[in-house]
């Protein structure tokens, strides 16, 4: 894969994974299986490992957790 193709595909994967994470975690309405989601994350991790110059703090591979759902609060411990 050429470097520009990798950069574009990484961004596409980030957008797709973010979309599905919101559907799953925030909306309780997943459109893909956990396995399919995990495979997208694995593909993204592998591409970021191969092209570390494209790792971004915005990537879900670099984050832990999501937003709190309505009715819940963040733990301070």
- Please indicate, yes or no, if residue 74 is contained in any of the structural domains: no
- Please indicate, yes or no, if residue 38 is contained in any of the structural domains: yes
pLDDT tens digit string along 4-54?
999 999 999 999 999 999 999 889 999 999 999 999 999 999 999 999 999
Helix (H, G, I), strand (E, B) or coil at 31: coil
- Please indicate, yes or no, if residue 67 is contained in any of the structural domains: no
Q: How many domains does the chain have?
A: 1
- Rounded CA gap, 66 and 42, in Å? 19
C-beta of residue 20 within 8 angstroms of C-beta of residue 64:
no
- Please indicate, yes or no, if residue 25 is contained in any of the structural domains: yes
**Structural domain span for residue 43:** 3-62
Q: What is the CATH number of the domain that holds 43?
A: 1.10.287.610
Both tokens assigned to 36: 């399919």
Q: pTM to 2 decimals?
A: 0.79
- Please indicate, yes or no, if residue 72 is contained in any of the structural domains: no
Task: Output the pLDDT for position 77.
Answer: 62
């Amino acid at each position: 894969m050429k470097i520009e193709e990798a950069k574009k595909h990484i961004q596409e994967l980030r957008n797709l994974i973010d979309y599905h994470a919101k559907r799953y975690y925030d909306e309780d309405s997943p459109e893909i299986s956990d396995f399919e989601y995990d495979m997208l994350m694995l593909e993204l991790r592998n591409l970021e490992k191969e092209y570390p110059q494209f790792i971004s703090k915005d990537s879900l591979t670099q984050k832990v957790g999501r937003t709190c759902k309505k009715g819940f609060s963040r733990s301070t411990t």
